[in-house]
Each structure stands twice: as structure tokens, then as C-alpha cells.
Amino acid sequence: MTTLVIFLQLLFIIPLALGLNHPNCDLTSTQDQGSTLRIFHIDSPCSPFKSSSPLSWEARVLKTLAQDQARLQYLTSLVAGRSVVPVASGRQMLQSTTYIVKAKIGTPAQSLLLAMDTSSDVAWLPCSGCVGCPSTTAFSPAKSTTFKNVSCSAPQCKQVPNPTCGSRACSFNLTYGSSSIAANLSQDTIRLAADPINAFTFGCVNKVAGGGTVPPPQGLLGLGRGPLSLMSQAQSLYKSTFSYCLPSFRSLAFSGSLRLGPTAQPVRVKYTQLLRNPRRSSLYYVNLVAIRVAKKVVDIPPAAIAFNPTTGAGTIFDSGTVYTRLSKPVYEAVRNEFRKRVKPRTAVVTSLGGFDTCYSGKITVPTITFMFKGVNMTMPADNLMLHSSAGSLSCLAIASSPENVNSVVNVIASMQQQNHRVLIDVPNGRLGLARERCS
């Protein structure tokens, strides 16, 4: 069985002067060979989806906070049972920081960039002839000899929202912000580096209507636990097992890795149990039992962090949210203890958007440890503090969940996961953690 090792070249902080002319940004190159596949940050200089207008540090932080809030609304709608399918994530899911991978679809192969997401179950692509799609690059079914539409009688047709049977093919519609999307459920061969997956099921988007929010231009590759996710469809190849290691934004190389399959996974890993929410079984829940600031275990009511499959309360790991969000009582307890231990004690606390623990000048900060049953995740300053690129402002990069979302969900986000190996082992029902220099 092939193990796919995906090197993350997340160039988020690399100077924009590198641009698309840098040799590492050649998305048409043959560097994706064997079991190695490159992944780029969606906002990196190498990404064709990056913003065309550079933002200041403060503006970028505020924009990311807003995108995180939209994603939290998506995630909490899932655990509350209000969203019937993962495809209906809309802009809320892909608006926040994500990572893109080059995949090859069809026969002969067509190269497309897909956003990877650990909290989504599905794959979908903008297809040629799509009315209203924002992408200039789309998958062309007519050029693939292995493409076929999924029939209405196929079991996959029951796993999408509002299926209809126009032209004997399974079609579906979903709401996307203030827009609507129409797609056909389709199958074709997908190749990730050297690994072909035949008859891979995905949504082929053919129409976007409405004058509101438009879908992101790239497609989506879900790594969740649902029946249409990559992990489920390629179960015989990858055994529902993968790990990833996200590098620090401060790293000059800014490279990390994602490994699919049980082979070549790290040995020195400590595990905690993966929990399953029957309302939304795709999300990767874990049992958070306590939070420690420096050596002090914070006084948090157990009910505030307890897993509750009925309400969806609990803690999840998510690669698409940038900054960790904690429910209000949990966040306030952690924040207050953190402030007590920042040195010098005379440091003045300010705020920036949703971050209410910011400082001007040089400070020394305590570690924060998320304590799970079986393993601890300790985060030093690099995982905790955002530093202004111009000036001396720094902010604690953890915030309270917004008031307008289901605030009982705690989300361990990508910045706090940096330089940790996170291993998802679904067959054995466990999530592994190990400190690792990912660069």
C-alpha cells in the first residue's frame, strides 16, 4: 500500500517579492512525484487565489478573524444539526485559511487545485460550462474517458442534499450564503501524486445563481469521516489514517507534511480517544479535561468543556480555523490566568478586533497546555502570540467564540497546532499528538 507524503509549502509569511516567478511556485512542474505532493497556503505568493491587494498586518488579522467567525458558524451549524450535508458549507468554510493541493482528475489527467479540509466530507469541482462560477480553470468532463454521472439509484445519491433525477443522473442543489449552487454527482479517477483512486465520487458544479456570496474558485477535498470523504472512498488504500504537521509562520522554510495511510507514521506519539458526535460524525472530537497556564491548572467548571453528543458541545481539531476559539467561560478563565502571568506585570493590556489581550513592547508569556485524556499539548509563545510586522504590538491568538454561534464548541485551530504532529487514526478511534519541528 502506498503512503502519500504531502509536503506543505505554506508560504504565508514569505515576502511577496518571491511571487509566482519563484521556482517553488511552478504549479505545472513535475516535482509532485512518487508519494510526494506539494501543498500551498491559499494566500501564499504561490497561490493563484491569493489577494491581489496586500493588506497591513492589522487588516490581515482582522480579516482572518472575520473569516474564522464565518467558519465557526459553519462548524456549529453542523453540530447543531442544522446543515444536512457537508457540501452546504458554502463560503463559510473556505473563506478562512486553507491549504491547497494539486490533484489530477480524469483520463487523460487534468490538473486542478483543491482545498484540503479536515472538517469536510466531500469533494466538489467547478466544471466547464458552469454558469456563474468564478473560476477560470474548471474540470472538463467531456475530455475525460473515465468520467460518468452517478445514477439516481446509486447509494451515493442519498448522501447529497435535495437530490433530483433530471436526465436520469443524480443532481442536487444547495444554498451557499445568499446564492444557490446546482451540481451533478459524478465519478472519475483522481490522482494524488502516484496514487490513483478510481470511480471517485464528487460534485460537478454547473450553476451558481444569485447576486450574493459566490463560491471560492478552487475545488474542495474533504478529509472528514463522512461516506463521501477521501478517507472513506480511499479506505482500502489509506485505511482511514492520516497525519499532518503544520510549520510555524515564523519559519523561513515554512514547510511541513501530510501523510496519508498508516505506513511511515511516527512511532513516538501519545494518543487520546476520538469521540463521535452522532449529529455530525465527520468532525474530530476529543476529550479536553483541563487547561493549564504555566503550572497552574485553570479553574474551569467541568460542564464547560464536557463532550455532549446531544447538543454538540465539546472540543474539535480543525485545520481550517486559524485561531483557537473557546467558549466564553472557558476563554475568560484562561485569559485571566494568562494575564496574571505575563511579565512585566505592569504591561498594559489593549485589544485588536476580537483579540482582547494585546501588549505593546517586549513581554514574556507563559505556556498554555491543553490537557486531553492521555496526552498534553503544550504551546510556547510561537503558538500563542501574533506579532506585528511593523511595530511592537503582540496579541494572544486565542479568542472567545462569537456570541452569534453555538458557543459550547471549542475549536483547536491551525496556529495552535503548528509544530505538532497530529495523527488521525479512525479505525482505532484515536488522535495522536507529538511535538515536532515541522519546518
Q: Which residues are catalytic?
A: 117, 318
Contact assessment for residue 387 and residue 381, using Cβ atoms and an 8 Å cutoff: no
Contact assessment for residue 112 and residue 221, using Cβ atoms and an 8 Å cutoff: no
387 half-sphere exposure, CB direction, 13 A CA radius:
14
Buried b (16+ CB within 10 A) or exposed e, 37-75: bbbbbbbbbbbbbbeeeeeeeeebbbbbbebbbbbbbbb
Nearest partner of 3 among 189, 190, 192, judged by Cα: 192
How would you classify residue 330: left for phi > 0, otherwise alpha for psi between -120 and 50, otherwise beta?
A: alpha
What is the Cα 95 distance to its own chain's centre?
10
d(CA 183, CA 176): 12
Nearest partner of 416 among 316, 300, 283, judged by Cα: 316
What is the Cα 340 distance to its own chain's centre?
32
Within 8 A by CB and 6+ apart from 434, the residues are 266, 268, 269, 270, 420, 421, 423
Nearest partner of 78 among 224, 287, 233, 231, judged by Cα: 224
Nearest partner of 438 among 244, 290, 274, judged by Cα: 244
d(CA 154, CA 131): 26
Q: How many CB atoms lie within 10 A of CB 85?
A: 18
Single-letter residue type at 127: C
334 half-sphere exposure, CB direction, 13 A CA radius:
28
305 half-sphere exposure, CB direction, 13 A CA radius:
23
DSSP 146: T
